């Protein structure tokens, strides 16, 4: 396997995941192939998409065009809410694989719990069957709070490998991350830069660390995630930012810098509440 500067994190199912990847939420389907090819050229080997993003085909075309051996890539997609339920999951999974042009997936996630449907437990059992079938290596969930995870732990046989949740300095979800850690579930941080909706890059704690290390504020926020143990996949349409966000393995924040950024928490959610989004 080609050398990569990106560390891998061990999952509870024996597989491992590159800690830094590239996400494609809101990447225009018509531009996805070019943007993902740029990301692969920059060095990213972990890609995060979803059926609802409408760009799985573009991700698949970029993978094919890149010529990178499949085993060097880690590809995630997600089951959308209206495909939840025992009967729908296998076909939805096959359609995503077809659009991606892949023989297998590294990680498949339930995108939201959508508790009003009350189908995430049966959907999770269908995910267990998919994994037994061998065409997906790891299974997990997204936007699950501690009490949603608890139902899966109590009522099913497989503990999710991953919970992908909104997580950035203004919204760190300590209850969910504590439950995940206790049960061996790796946390992925979506919206790791706050989706540009907060002035994270102007905060004195972030700017001071950037100046101290000769790096940019975005690199400091990414480094904070890495040192907190999160998996993350910041998105950018711009190649120079893709490179900036990947160039984070030549410095280390000290404990005081990490703690100062952790102290910025203020429950600043950018998305819907997982108990209310259906």
| Residues at the interface with ligand NDP (CB under 6 A) | 23-25, 48, 111, 142-143, 164, 190-196, 218, 233-238, 241, 244-245
Cβ nearer to ligand NDP, comparing 123 with 245? 245
Instruction: Return the SS3 of 168.
Output: strand
Cβ nearer to ligand NDP, comparing 126 with 248? 248
* Smallest separation (angstroms) from ligand NDP to the CB of 213: 15
Cβ nearer to ligand NDP, comparing 154 with 196? 196
* Smallest separation (angstroms) from ligand NDP to the CB of 45: 15
How many Å apart are CA 48 and CA 249, to the nearest integer?
Answer: 21
Would you give the distance in Å from CA 134 to the centre of its chain?
21
What is the 3-state secondary structure of 183-196? Answer: CCCEEEEECCCHHH
53 catalytic? Reply is: yes
* Smallest separation (angstroms) from ligand NDP to the CB of 266: 16
In the complex, residue closest to ligand NDP by CB = 23
Cβ nearer to ligand NDP, comparing 157 with 214? 214
* Smallest separation (angstroms) from ligand NDP to the CB of 202: 11
Query: In sequence order, what are the residues at sequence separation of 6 or more whose Cβ sits closer than 8 angstroms to the Cβ of residue 107?
Result: 17, 74, 75, 76, 136, 137, 138, 139, 140, 161, 162
Among residues 53, 108, 120, 198, the one annotated as catalytic is: 53
Look at strands 136-142 and 105-110 and give their pairing. parallel
Instruction: Return the SS3 of 122.
Output: helix
Which residues are catalytic, by number?
53
């Amino acid at each position: 396997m080609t050398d990569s500067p990106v560390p891998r994190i061990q999952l509870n199912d024996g597989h491992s995941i590159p800690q830094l990847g590239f996400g494609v939420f809101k990447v225009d389907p018509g531009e996805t192939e070019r943007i993902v090819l740029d990301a692969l050229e920059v060095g990213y080997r972990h890609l995060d998409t979803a059926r609802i993003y409408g760009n799985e085909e573009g991700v698949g075309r970029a993978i094919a065009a890149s010529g990178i051996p499949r085993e060097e890539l880690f590809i995630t997609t997600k089951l959308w809410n209206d495909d939840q339920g025992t009967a729908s999951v296998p076909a939805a999974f096959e359609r995503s694989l077809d659009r991606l042009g892949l023989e297998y997936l590294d990680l498949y996630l339930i995108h939201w719990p959508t508790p009003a449907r009350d189908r995430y437990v049966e959907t999770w059992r269908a995910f267990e069957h998919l994994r037994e079938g061998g065409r997906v290596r790891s299974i997990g969930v997204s936007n699950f709070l501690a009490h949603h995870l608890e139902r899966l732990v109590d009522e099913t046989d497989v503990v999710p490998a991953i919970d992908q949740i909104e997580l950035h300095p203004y919204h760190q979800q300590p209850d969910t991350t504590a439950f995940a850690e206790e049960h061996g579930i790796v946390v992925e941080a979506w919206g790791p830069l706050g989706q540009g909706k907060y002035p994270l890059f102007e905060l004195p704690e972030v700017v001071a660390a950037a100046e101290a290390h000769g790096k940019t504020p975005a690199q400091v926020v990414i480094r904070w995630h890495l040192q907190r143990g999160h998996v993350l996949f910041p998105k950018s349409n711009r190649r120079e930012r893709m490179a900036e966000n990947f160039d984070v393995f030549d410095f280390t924040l000290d404990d005081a810098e990490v703690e100062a950024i952790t102290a910025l928490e203020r429950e600043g959610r950018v998305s819907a509440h997982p108990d209310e989004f259906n």
